[in-house]
């Protein structure tokens, strides 16, 4: 194996201070960077799983009246595809960057609550495993990721499918809330001296707003899921019409959570793009303050638009008008963001490296998703668009064209920092072009199909309605899209065998993470930096009149770091067992839950009385 000077230096530093390796070190780690890698690896595995589910769906829909998948299998797969991509792929992929990058970008040595951070990861993993374990029993959730009542009632969904879904989501909610508290506090309290709020990198700003959204939105879905759990297990009637309940209540609760959730999924990508575009344009972000406040405004308005998912329920003219206008209003700050990104690129000296390809692709694709969003802000038009493939096209342009393009830009951008290795540029660009072409072939025709009468969530469609050709094209596109991620995997595995060849600052970065070795040492900053303005590293380089010398790997003697701990893992197992026991209610389930509660108590007890180090 080839070794570079960086490799030798790294080996030398590791030998000096006994860097932890091995399985046990990963199970007990409280290092935000390792937890970030755990989040990323797990979420990427779920992303591939969700992608395979999508390919199966696309094969089924490639031809009319197809019998490739049975109806119930199709319904399980589309439910799990949506649930997986939202809760197990995009959110935790963002969490990977929160974990790895927020402390580095704000000049901190770790997050505010390192053990809580580990706990978040283990609980997230538990939720993902519980949800997907349903496949082993052939009982995967089959009611859609939005789980509309009263289809989810025991009467109409007697199987355990819905139980897996609601308990899995409940566990994932615990993970998200714990992480949100952690990053909220980290960003507010752990910034390096001189890093005022209005000097924070834009990724940190957008992440901060995301944590606020998580803190306010997730309690709503938690409550809704508890009500549903009571309906299904204990015979209450919150959403059961025969008992006086109202299915419409579920829709309101779900979308009060669900719409902010959309911004939870896309704001981190906004942040990543706002890091990548300036660096590769060699020009600061255009309109920093406007970018901050438009993000805040989007988040605020995000809580006032939920019923635009419900125009077809017939809410009456006053409610329709209110939600139509707030929805249109949200396009203004979103437009400001797009224009500011253009303003950032404009007049720059654009360096065409792979992260920049994906960032520019993000703008091009996200604009399409934004514009179709404006199209269904108008209720009379939305009555036709809602629940048709037009909506499927819209939110894939936002969540794939937006979130996934943005996260992929972030992956290529920060890969050298996280792994210490440069990804291959040619493969990266092949990945980009295949993804752009595959993405548009898959999702653009859905606009046309939706407006021409193809509804969502159908396991098949009859021949003769005209849907055949474009569906076939979409299926071809989906495989090209899958191929693009195969290229990405090849790129990752090829470079993983290569030397540690990434310098500290491969892109001429503007922010603090590029001031320290790649990958960073456990303590991040040997010396806590002092910040004098925005784009702190650019400032430092300008002052010096050229690039900074490669930072040496140093001994971390005397730097206080939290001790590894297995209590977060124990507590996570406790949460999984407690909630998982509900599945077996009323048989042996309560006993499992009680055992789980005991484990959780033990975990928290051990955690609380663990010596700090």
Partner 1 sequence: MLLRTASIRRVRRLAPLFCAIALVLAGCSPDHYAQTALRPISDFGRIGDDIQTTTLKWAIVVFVLVEGALLYAIFRFRGKPTDPEPSQVHGNTTIEIVWTVIPALILAAIAVPTVRGIFQTNITPAADALEVQVIGHQWWWEFRYPTLNLTTANELHIPVGQTVSLKMGTVDVVHSFWPPRFAGKRDLFPNRETRLWFKAEEAGEYPGQCAEFCGIQHARMAFRVRAQSPEEFQAWAAHMQSLRANPAAAVAAPKDSVQTVSAGATVQAQAAGPDDPQYAAGEKLFQAKGCVACHSLNAFDAPKGMIGPNLANVGDRSYIGAGTLKNTDENLARWIENPQLIKQGVLMPNLGVTPEDAKALVAYLRAHQ
Site for partner 1 in 208-227 (CB under 8 A): none
143 forms part of the interface with partner 1 (CB under 8 A): yes
Site for partner 1 in 390-429 (CB under 8 A): none
364 forms part of the interface with partner 1 (CB under 8 A): yes
Q: Out of 261, 275, 382, 505, name the contact with partner 1 by CB under 8 A.
A: 382
328 forms part of the interface with partner 1 (CB under 8 A): yes
Minimum distance between the CB of residue 503 and partner 1, rounded to whole angstroms?
14
CB atoms within 10 A of CB 448: 15
Q: Out of 52, 135, 230, 343, name the contact with partner 1 by CB under 8 A.
A: 343
142 forms part of the interface with partner 1 (CB under 8 A): yes
Minimum distance between the CB of residue 470 and partner 1, rounded to whole angstroms?
5
545 forms part of the interface with partner 1 (CB under 8 A): no
SS (H, E, C) 518-538: CCCCCCCCCCCCCCCCCCHHH
Q: Out of 138, 219, 241, 533, name the contact with partner 1 by CB under 8 A.
A: 241
Q: 9-38: b or e for each residue (b if 16 or more CB lie within 10 Å)?
A: ebeebeeeeeeeeeeeeeebbbbbbbbbbb
Q: Out of 104, 149, 171, 267, name the contact with partner 1 by CB under 8 A.
A: 149
296 forms part of the interface with partner 1 (CB under 8 A): no
546 forms part of the interface with partner 1 (CB under 8 A): no
Nearer to partner 1, 177 or 368 (CB): 368
Q: 261-283: b or e for each residue (b if 16 or more CB lie within 10 Å)?
A: bbbbbbbbbbbbbbbbbbbbbeb
Among the residue ranges 115-123, 129-137, 246-254, 518-526, the one whose residues contact partner 1 (CB under 8 A): 246-254
User: Nearest 10 degrees: CA dihedral of 167, 171, 172, 176?
Assistant: 140
Q: Which residues, listed in sequence order, are joined to residue 455 by a DSSP beta bridge? A: 388
Q: Out of 339, 479, 585, 607, name the contact with partner 1 by CB under 8 A.
A: 339
Minimum distance between the CB of residue 322 and partner 1, rounded to whole angstroms?
10
In whole angstroms, give the CA distance from residue 577 to residue 512: 41
Residue 273 CA, distance from chain mean position: 15
Nearer to partner 1, 47 or 74 (CB): 74
Site for partner 1 in 117-136 (CB under 8 A): none
448 forms part of the interface with partner 1 (CB under 8 A): yes
Q: Out of 83, 117, 120, 150, name the contact with partner 1 by CB under 8 A.
A: 150
In whole angstroms, give the CA distance from residue 526 to residue 612: 21
342 forms part of the interface with partner 1 (CB under 8 A): yes
286 forms part of the interface with partner 1 (CB under 8 A): yes
Nearer to partner 1, 328 or 584 (CB): 328
In 424-560, where do the E strands start and end? none
464 forms part of the interface with partner 1 (CB under 8 A): yes
Given a contact cutoff of 8 angstroms between Cβ atoms, the answer to whether 518 and 10 are in contact is no
558 forms part of the interface with partner 1 (CB under 8 A): no
Number of residues lying near partner 1 (CB under 8 A): 98
Q: Out of 39, 44, 238, 467, name the contact with partner 1 by CB under 8 A.
A: 467
320 forms part of the interface with partner 1 (CB under 8 A): yes
**Token pair belonging to 145:** 């990721």
332 forms part of the interface with partner 1 (CB under 8 A): yes
Q: Out of 174, 229, 345, 482, name the contact with partner 1 by CB under 8 A.
A: 345
Minimum distance between the CB of residue 444 and partner 1, rounded to whole angstroms?
7
359 forms part of the interface with partner 1 (CB under 8 A): no
Q: Out of 22, 317, 558, 613, name the contact with partner 1 by CB under 8 A.
A: 317
- Taking residues 468 to 487 in sequence order and writing x for each that binds partner 1 by CB under 8 A, - otherwise, the string is -xx--x--------------
Site for partner 1 in 72-91 (CB under 8 A): 72, 75
Nearer to partner 1, 11 or 465 (CB): 465
Q: Out of 137, 138, 223, 352, name the contact with partner 1 by CB under 8 A.
A: 352
Among the residue ranges 66-74, 89-97, 119-127, 214-222, the one whose residues contact partner 1 (CB under 8 A): 66-74
Nearest to 306 by CA among 146, 92, 177: 146
In whole angstroms, give the CA distance from residue 486 to residue 502: 23
In whole angstroms, give the CA distance from residue 445 to residue 429: 25
Burial of residue 517 (number of CB atoms within 10 Å: 0-12, 13-18, 19+): buried
SS (H, E, C) 264-296: HHHHHHHHHHHHHHHHHHCCCCCCHHHHHHHHH
202-234 vs 247-281: helix crossing angle, rounded to 10: 160
Site for partner 1 in 517-536 (CB under 8 A): none
SS (H, E, C) 16-73: HHCCCCCHHHHHCCCCHHHHHHHHHHHHHHHHHHHHHHHHHHHHHHCCCCCCCCCHHH
Radius of gyration from C-alpha coordinates of the chain: 24
198 forms part of the interface with partner 1 (CB under 8 A): no
589 forms part of the interface with partner 1 (CB under 8 A): no
Site for partner 1 in 1-30 (CB under 8 A): none
Sign of CA dihedral 219, 223, 224, 225: positive
User: Which positions ≥6 away from 67 have C-beta within 8 Å?
Assistant: none
- Taking residues 248 to 267 in sequence order and writing x for each that binds partner 1 by CB under 8 A, - otherwise, the string is x-------------------
Nearer to partner 1, 546 or 613 (CB): 546
In whole angstroms, give the CA distance from residue 132 to residue 126: 10
Given a contact cutoff of 8 angstroms between Cβ atoms, the answer to whether 82 and 144 are in contact is yes
Residue 161 CA, distance from chain mean position: 24
In whole angstroms, give the CA distance from residue 336 to residue 359: 17
In whole angstroms, give the CA distance from residue 373 to residue 398: 9
Given a contact cutoff of 8 angstroms between Cβ atoms, the answer to whether 228 and 250 are in contact is yes
288 forms part of the interface with partner 1 (CB under 8 A): yes
539 forms part of the interface with partner 1 (CB under 8 A): no
Q: Out of 372, 403, 442, 484, name the contact with partner 1 by CB under 8 A.
A: 372
């Amino acid at each position: 194996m080839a070794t570079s000077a960086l490799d030798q230096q790294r080996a030398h530093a590791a030998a000096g201070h006994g860097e932890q390796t091995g399985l046990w070190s990963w199970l007990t780690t409280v290092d935000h960077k390792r937890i970030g890698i755990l989040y990323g690896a797990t979420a990427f595995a779920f992303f591939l799983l969700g992608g395979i589910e999508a390919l199966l769906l696309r094969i089924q829909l490639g031809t009319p009246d197809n019998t490739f998948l049975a109806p119930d299998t199709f319904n399980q797969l589309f439910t799990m595809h949506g649930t997986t991509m939202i809760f197990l792929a995009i959110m935790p992929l963002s969490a990977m960057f929160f974990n790895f990058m927020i402390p580095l970008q704000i000049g901190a040595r770790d997050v505010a609550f390192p053990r809580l951070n580990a706990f978040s990861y283990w609980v997230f993993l538990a939720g993902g495993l519980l949800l997907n374990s349903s496949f082993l029993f052939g009982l995967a959730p089959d009611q859609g990721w939005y789980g509309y009542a009263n289809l989810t009632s025991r009467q109409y969904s007697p199987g355990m499918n819905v139980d897996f879904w609601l308990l899995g989501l409940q566990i994932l909610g615990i993970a998200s809330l714990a992480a949100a508290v952690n990053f909220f506090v980290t960003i507010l309290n752990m910034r390096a001296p001189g890093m005022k709020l209005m000097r924070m990198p834009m990724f940190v700003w957008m992440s901060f707003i995301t944590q606020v959204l998580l803190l306010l939105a997730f309690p709503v879905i938690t409550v809704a899921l508890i009500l549903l759990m009571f309906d299904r297990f204990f015979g209450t009637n919150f959403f059961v019409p025969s008992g006086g309940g109202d299915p419409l209540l579920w829709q309101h609760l779900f979308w009060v959570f669900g719409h902010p959730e959309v911004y939870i999924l896309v704001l981190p990508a906004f942040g990543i793009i706002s890091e990548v575009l300036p660096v590769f344009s060699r020009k600061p972000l255009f309109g920093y303050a406007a970018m901050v406040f438009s993000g805040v405004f989007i988040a605020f308005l995000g809580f006032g638009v939920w019923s635009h998912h419900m125009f077809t329920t017939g809410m009456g003219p006053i409610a329709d008008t209110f939600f139509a206008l707030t929805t249109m209003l949200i396009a203004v700050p979103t437009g400001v963001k797009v224009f500011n990104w253009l303003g950032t690129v404009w007049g720059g000296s654009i360096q065409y490296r792979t992260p920049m390809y994906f960032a520019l692709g993000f703008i091009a694709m996200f604009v399409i998703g934004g514009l179709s969003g404006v199209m269904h802000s108008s209720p009379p038009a939305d009555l036709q668009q809602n629940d048709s493939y037009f909506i499927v096209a819209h939110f894939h342009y936002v969540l794939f064209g937006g979130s996934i393009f943005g996260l992929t830009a972030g992956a290529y951008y920060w890969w050298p920092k996280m792994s210490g290795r440069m990804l291959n540029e040619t493969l990266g660009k092949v990945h980009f072009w295949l993804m752009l072409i595959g993405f548009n072939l898959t999702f653009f025709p859905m606009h046309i199909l939706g407006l021409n009468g193809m509804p969502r969530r159908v396991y098949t469609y009859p021949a003769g309605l005209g849907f055949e050709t474009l569906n076939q094209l979409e299926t071809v596109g989906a495989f090209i899209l899958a191929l693009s991620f195969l290229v990405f995997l090849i790129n990752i595995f090829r470079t993983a065998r290569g030397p540690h060849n990434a310098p500290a600052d491969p892109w001429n970065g503007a922010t603090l993470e590029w001031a320290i070795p790649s990958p960073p040492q456990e303590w991040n900053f040997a010396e806590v930096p002092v910040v004098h303005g925005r784009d702190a590293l650019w400032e430092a380089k300008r002052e010096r009149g050229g690039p900074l010398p490669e930072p040496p790997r140093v001994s971390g003697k005397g730097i206080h770091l939290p001790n590894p701990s297995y209590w977060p893992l124990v507590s996570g197992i406790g949460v999984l067992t407690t909630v998982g026991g509900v599945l077996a209610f009323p048989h042996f389930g309560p006993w499992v839950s009680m055992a789980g509660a005991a484990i959780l108590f033990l975990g928290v007890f051990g955690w609380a009385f663990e010596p700090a180090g």
